[in-house]
Chain A
Amino acid sequence: QKEVEQNSGPLSVPEGAIASLNCTYSDRGSQSFFWYRQYSGKSPELIMSIYSNGDKEDGRFTAQLNKASQYVSLLIRDSQPSDSATYLCAVTGGTGANNLFFGTGTRLTVIP
């Protein structure tokens, strides 16, 4: 069982729509949750972090965390073509020697 799972996509949405990206994790001891955006050929950049249950909003981005369901999501409102990228979910915590885990990413395409 993978520690962090994401739907690989691709996910296509029209410009101006809401894009919804989902992530589940296996370790109930996980503490922190992050969303990274990665453009093709570039390194990942952090766009959202969330540490407690509920929603966290930052501009057009909203992260949602449900620790009981071991589920974290990212909503992108008013999607723009510049949002087209791969979105990586990352989780830290747990009891292992390595406590940083990434999902394989969801590729998002925003269609003008």
Chain B
Amino acid sequence: DGGITQSPKYLFRKEGQNVTLSCEQNLNHDAMYWYRQDPGQGLRLIYYSQIVNDFQKGDIAEGYSVSREKKESFPLTVTSAQKNPTAFYLCASTGHVNTEAFFGQGTRLTVV
């Protein structure tokens, strides 16, 4: 089955640690996105990538980094510079221009 897989589903980070969230898609989609969602809030764009080896900052990129070395993969690293990383993180992808976004099941990150 085609889809987007995020892992892990739950992640715990200690203060000062970097952690990496995985996002893999087998939909052959060009564009991929990372969103952050806080309780009761909407989606906020962290980074997006429209082609391999290229990505752009979204609205809240500070404290995050990404890579896009393969079309299928768009990992997100939450660095120690992100002071309030506890949130629900969603990865999405889109295929042809102006088509719908498909979402992974999300990763819930908690700082302990």
A residues near B (Cβ < 8 Å) are: 31-32, 34, 41-46, 49, 88, 90, 92-93, 97-100, 102-105, 107
Contact = CB atoms under 8 A, between A and B. Distances in A.
B56 A102 contact: no
Given A43-B103, A88-B43, A104-B42, A98 B98 contact: no
Contacts of B50: 97
Contact of B45 (A44, A46, A98, A104): A98
Contacts of A32: 98-100
Q: What class of interface size applies to chain B in its complex with A? A: 20 to 34
Given A43-B103, A44-B103, A90-B101, A100 B56 contact: no
24 contacts: A31-B97, A31-B98, A32-B98, A32-B99, A34-B100, A41-B88, A43-B106, A46-B101, A88-B42, A90-B100, A90-B101, A92-B97, A98-B45, A98-B56, A98-B58, A100-B48, A100-B101, A102-B35, A102-B42, A102-B43, A103-B42, A104-B41, A104-B43, A107-B40
Given A102-B43, A104-B41, A97 B101 contact: no
Contact of B97 (A44, A90, A97, A99): A99
Given A97-B56, A102-B43, A43 B104 contact: yes
B33 interface: yes
Contacts of B99: 32, 92
Contacts of B35: 102
Interface string B21-39: 0000000000101010000
